Amino acid sequence: MGDALLPYGRQSIVEEDIAAVAEVLRGDWLTTGPAVRRFEEDLCALAGGVPAVAVTSGTAALHVAYAAAAIGPGDEVVCAPMTFVATAATAVAQGATVVFADVSPETGNLLPEAAAAAMTARTRVVSAVDYAGHPAPVDELSKVAHDGGALLLEDAAHSIGGTWRGRPVGALADLTTFSFFPTKNLTTAEGGAVATPNPDLARRAAQFRNHGLVRDKARMRFPDEGGWHQEVHEFGLNYRLPDVLCALGSSQLRRLAWFKERRAEIHARYTAGLSDVEGVRTPVTLPGADPMWHLYPLRVLDGRRRALFDHLRAAGIGVQVNYVPVYWHPVFADLGYQRGMCPNAERFYAEELSLPLFPDLSDTDVDRVVELVREFL
C-alpha cells in the first residue's frame, strides 16, 4: 500500500467485475431487469434455497424487513447493542420501541438469556447481529423469539457465506438481512438484501421496496380500471437495487469462496501472531460456527485500547472501533436510554479494536500490524 494509510477494510474488484457492469450498461435494462433477478437467484442459492429480495443498502434491508414484519407503533423490538446504529434505528423509523439486551462477553453476539429477559407481550421481533462475521446462536434465539410469539431477524451484514451448525446464513432466521457496502464480504458498491423462507414476508418485502405497489390483478381492489392500473395498499419506498449493481454482486459472488478462505487465513495469521501477547485477547470461534470473518476484533485490556489505536493510526494502520453501544448515541440518549444497561456490551466496546482485514491484504502487511501491536504492548 506504499506510504498510504492501510485501511481496515477495502473492496476487491477485478476485471470480471468491471466487464459484468459494462455488459449491463451496453444493454437495455439499467434497473428492475434481468440482472436483478439473476442476483436474487444467486443469493437464494447461497442461502440454501431461501428467496432473497435485493435492496439499495444494508440499512434498507433492515427497514424492509421490519416493514415486512408489520412493525409499528406500540410494538417492541429486542436488539443487540453491539452493532451499527441502523439495526435499531430502522425499527424506530417504523414506530417501534427498541429494547436492548446484553451480549456474550466472548463474541459480542446477543445472549439468548438476555433476549428472553427483555421479551414482553409487545415484542414482535428479536434482532440478533452476527458480530464480526461469527454467527449468533440462532437456534436458541429462534426458540426465545418464537416462544414469545415474535420473529427472529438475523442482521447478517457481516456474515454472508458463513454457516451455523452446518446450515448457511440466510436459512437460519425468519428474516435475514445482508449488506454489500465496499468493506463487507462482497460488494455492490451500495446494496443489501432480505432473505426469508416465509412467502408472505417475501411478498411484503418485495412490495415495500417498490413503493408498496400492487400489480397482481387478483389482489387489486379495482382490477378493471385498465391495463395500466397499479395500486398502493400500504406505503412503501423506492429501495430498488439497479441492474448495474446487481451485475457486480453476481460477479462478486463467484469469488465469495475465495474471499472467505483468504479472510480466514488473515484471521488465523493475526491470532498466531498475537495469542501469546499479554494485554490482548484474540477472537474466539464457538463450536458449530464457521464464520465469514468480516472484522478482526482484537480485545485490548487494561484500558490501553485508545493508546494502541493512536499508536497504530500514527504508524499508518487504519484500525477502527466497532461499535459504540447503540444506545450511547445521543439520539437514543434523548429518548431516555442510559449507559450501564448492557454491561457486557459496554466492556466489549471499551476493549475492541478492529485490525485491517480484507482479501487483498498481504501477509507482509498483516505481519507489520502484528509487529506494531507487539512492539507497543
Catalytically active residues, by annotation:
184
E strand intervals along 236-327? 280-281, 289-290, 296-300
Q: How far apart are CA 153 and CA 77, in angstroms?
A: 10
**CB within 8 A of 162, min separation 6: which ones?**
130, 133, 134, 135, 156, 168, 169, 260, 289, 290, 291, 292
The conformation of residue 136, written as its DSSP 8-state character, comes to P
Q: Is the dihedral of CA 346, 348, 350, 356 positive or negative?
A: negative
Contact 172, 195 (CB under 8 A): no
Amino acid at 17: D
- Cβ contact 166:145 at 8 Å: no
Alpha helices in 288-362 (DSSP H): 305-314, 330-333, 343-351
Neighbour tally for 91: CB within 10 Å:
28
Q: Could you write out the DSSP letters of every residue in 190-251?
A: S-EEEE-S-HHHHHHHHHHTBTTEE--GGG-SSTTS-TT--EESS---B-BPPHHHHHHHHH
Terminal CA-to-CA distance of the chain, rounded, Å? 25
Angle made by CA atoms 364, 357, 307, in degrees to the nearest 5? 85
Q: Give the cell for residue 324.
A: 459504540
Q: Any residues with CB less than 8 A from the CB of 305 and at least 6 apart, and which? A: 321, 350, 351, 352, 353
Cβ-contact 281, 301 below 8 angstroms: yes
Please answer whether residues 280 and 274 qualify as being in contact, where contact means their C-beta atoms are separated by less than 8 angstroms.
Answer: yes
Using CB atoms within 10 Å of the CB of residue 73, give its burial: 0 to 12 exposed, 13 to 18 middle, 19+ buried.
exposed
